[in-house]
Amino acid sequence: MAFIKKSRNSDALAQDERKVQRDCSSLALGLEQPDPLARRWAARDLADCPDASAALVSRLQREDDASVREIIFSTLTCLGDDIAVAGLVQCLRSDDAALRNEAIEAMKQLPDEVAAIMQGLLEDSDADVRIFAVNVLESLRHPEVESWLIEVIERDPHVNVCATAVDLLGEVGTEASREPLRHLKARFADEPYIQFAADLALKRIAEI
């Protein structure tokens, strides 16, 4: 009986291509390949290319394959340079909720890099961006998190931004947050949720 040779699967073929052309210029071009598998390999291997962030950010804004997008975010997090961080911030302004959420999760993995721009994000003219910035703080594990949140509840004019911040202060707040929380209650005296969340945060702080 004759044996029929099995055709090689697409993963094996993609790995062959990966071995043939792995210079950074070729990998950047690989981000534009029609095959999502080729784009995934390119995005993965660009982690070894220090100047790849611009190409990755450009592709991210157009990428419609979730698995490719996931790898691009992972590689941008590995690179973590100014262009990568700026690209993640750009995603916060997108109308695509999934893209925004993925960017937030990626930014949480870059505490030092994001800390350098956090003040600017918390002062952004777009209230939604300020809310997303507070969401990033949730897992940033940076020593200034409470200070940033206090500044938000003391200065931000938007009730939803303050509500997001006070929720997090209910988890990380210390004695330093007590007076700012009381001032927040006075500032938004007619907002039931602010009253509830601030009282909850004050109660938790008192029990520490």
Write out pLDDT tens, residues 17-69.
555 457 899 999 999 999 999 999 999 999 999 999 999 999 999 999 999 99
pLDDT given at position 147: 96
Express each pLDDT in 119-175 by its tens digit.
Answer: 999 999 999 999 999 999 988 878 899 999 999 999 999 999 999 999 999 999 999
> What is the per-residue DSSP string for 27-80?
HHHHTT-SSHHHHHHHHHHGGG-TT-HHHHHHHHTT---HHHHHHHHHHHHHH-
Q: What is the pTM of this model?
A: 0.84
Q: Are residues 132 and 197 in the same domain?
A: yes
78, 109, 140: which is the final residue of a domain? 109
Q: Place 208 in a pLDDT band, splitting at 50, 70 and 90.
A: confident
Q: Hey, CA dihedral for 186, 188, 189, 191, is it positive or negative?
A: negative
Q: Are residues 165 and 74 in the same domain?
A: no
Q: What is the DSSP letter of 143?
A: T
Domain that holds residue 88: 18-109
For residue 5, tell me if it sits in a domain: no
Q: Is 22 helix (H, G, I), strand (E, B) or coil?
A: coil
pLDDT given at position 4: 42
Mean pLDDT along residues 1-28 = 59
Rg, the chain, Cα only = 22
Spatial CB neighbours of 153, under 8 Å, sequence gap ≥ 6: 162, 165, 166, 169, 180, 181, 183, 184
The span from the CA of 86 to the CA of 54, in Å, is: 10
CB–CB of 39/30 below 8 Å?
yes
Distance of CA 127 to the CA centre of its chain: 17
Q: Place 78 in a pLDDT band, splitting at 50, 70 and 90.
A: very high
Q: Are residues 43 and 97 in the same domain?
A: yes
Q: Are residues 23 and 67 in the same domain?
A: yes
Q: Are residues 103 and 26 in the same domain?
A: yes
Residue 172's nearest CA partner among 152, 189, 187 is: 152
pLDDT given at position 177: 97
